[in-house]
Structure 1
Amino acid sequence: MELSTKSISMKEILDAPLHVIGFEISEISPQKIFGYFLVAKKCCNPFEVLHGGVSALVAESLASMGAHVASRFGRVAGVHLSIHHLKSANLGEIVYAEAKPLNVGKSIHVWEVNLWKKNSLNLGERILISSSRVTIKTNMPIPKNVKDAAVNIKKYAKL
């Protein structure tokens, strides 16, 4: 059996679940993670509206990525996610996401993650879709089999 030589994109390397939904990461730093995605059929509930679970996936993924960078590339794990779904995003709309730290401690980080879309009547205006708080445990021991996990994110982070 022959192995595939398909190249792996930056977004797939950084976060495979985000890659599946087509999420594009624009900025990675200890102070902010920013990106966007097009609401595709695979992101929708049966009513062709962004599925709340996708919003939660984006929130935890961005907060975890931010905590990983802010904790100097230590191992992290989400321990709590609270999300408020405020407005809908329809199939075909672009959703923007931004994660910022509220508290960066030695072993616990709290990140706020907001998802929004642009108002079609006033493109300068944001319409908040969801607001989340994510608590992340940081600085855990890194297992030997993933010692190089931070290598990829370091390539793209603004430190």
Structure 2
Amino acid sequence: MSIWKKQADLKAINALNDGRANGVLGIRISEIGDDFIRAELLVEPRTHQPFGLLHGGVSCVLAETLGSIGGYLTCDEEHNIVGVDINATHMNSVRSGKVIGTARPLKLGRRMQFWAIDIETEDGRPVCVARLSAAVVPNAPKT
């Protein structure tokens, strides 16, 4: 059974992110299952830190992107989601290739949501595990 309350359209979600931090870094939502959301990121010079490894902050952007989009899709039309805390543990370094992030909800409450995000290499080697805490807030009034 699907957890999503809003229609999930990969093309529209990716287009919305173009020109923003996650789009500039090359994060692309690749799959939305019944209870997870997945994205891919190419590890290349624009995502490296000075020593040629995937920048830990980029892993955090990937994690928050997945948790935030997932959270948004689980909110009703009167609410939105904002991240309030992210915790990330970097387990292995990556120099090149692709990483894949998968987010699943730990709890979908009326006021708070908690998401677990696993980032792995294409062959399944763990890169980063993260947890996002997000507040469910009313939509801003339309002006």
1:80 corresponds to:
85
Give the fraction of aligned pairs with identical amino acids, expressed as a percent.
Answer: 28
Aligned to 1:144, what secondary structure does the other structure show? coil
1:3-22 counterparts in 2 under 5 A? Answer: 10=12, 11-14=14-17, 16-22=20-26
1:30–1:70 contact (8 Å) kept in structure 2: no
Q: Which runs of 5+ in 1 are unaligned?
A: 1-8, 120-125, 146-159
TM-score by length of 2: 0.83
1:115–1:129 contact (8 Å) kept in structure 2: yes
Instruction: State the one-letter code of the partner of 1:52.
Output: G
Identify if the C-alpha distance between structure 1 residues 30 and 106 changes in structure 2 by more than 3 Å, giving closer, same or farther.
farther
1:36 corresponds to:
40
1:42-61 counterparts in 2 under 5 A? Answer: 42-61=46-65
| 1:112 positional shift | 0.3
2:120–2:126 contact (8 Å) kept in structure 1: yes
1:131 corresponds to:
129
In 2: Cα distance, 1:72 partner to 1:50 partner: 35
In 2: Cα distance, 1:109 partner to 1:32 partner: 14
Q: Please tell me whether Structure 1 or Structure 2 has the larger radius of gyration of its CA atoms.
A: 1
2:82–2:137 contact (8 Å) kept in structure 1: no
Q: Which runs of 5+ in 2 are unaligned?
A: 1-10
Higher percent of residues as strand: 2
Instruction: State the one-letter code of the partner of 1:36.
Output: E
Matched pairs, number: 130
| 1:12 positional shift | 3.8
2:122 is aligned with 1:109? no
In 1: Cα distance, 2:108 partner to 2:130 partner: 16
In 1: Cα distance, 2:141 partner to 2:52 partner: 41
Instruction: State the one-letter code of the partner of 1:19.
Output: G
Q: CA offsets per residue over residues 46-104 of structure 1, 9 Å max, x none? A: 111000000011111110110111112521110111110000111x3110010100000
Identify if the C-alpha distance between structure 1 residues 18 and 107 changes in structure 2 by more than 3 Å, giving closer, same or farther.
same
TM-score by length of 1: 0.75
Aligned to 2:125, what secondary structure does the other structure show? strand
Identify if the C-alpha distance between structure 1 residues 30 and 110 changes in structure 2 by more than 3 Å, giving closer, same or farther.
farther
